Amino acid sequence: MSILSSILSIFTGASSKPADVAAADPQSYKDCMIHAAPIAEGSQYRLAGRIEREVDGRRLERSFIRADVFSSRDDAVEGTFRKAQQIIDQNGPSLFGDGAEKRSV
């Protein structure tokens, strides 16, 4: 658990462990698959997900968690897809250019 989550849980009363949230159906965007996986924190949902792409027969994964929180799971899923598209657009080929199997962005 991150330090930020620990501090937030003190003030919000949120559990120290994020609750499991059912994953949304992935979306395709510019040769990538976006998987929204919001994290339940108390009565809110934190924006989180991963971006996957096949490169030279290998599946590469970039995960992300942002500070944005939403009051509904559906809003968090929608926000995750928008944020992932922004990450893909801003980073272009360099997003997967290092060839690392998994890393955070």
**Pairing mode of beta strands 44-55, 39-41:** antiparallel
What digits encode the pLDDT tens for the residues 48-99? 999 999 999 999 999 999 999 999 999 999 999 999 999 999 999 899 999 8
**Pairing mode of beta strands 44-55, 58-70:** antiparallel
d(CA 61, CA 54): 9
Instruction: Name the architecture of domain 17-104.
Output: 2-Layer Sandwich (3.30)
CB 76 within 8 Å of CB 62: no
Q: Which of 66, 78, 63, 61 is nearest to 41 (CA)?
A: 66
The answer to pTM > 0.85 is no
Containing 7, the helix (H) or strand (E) segment is helix 3-12
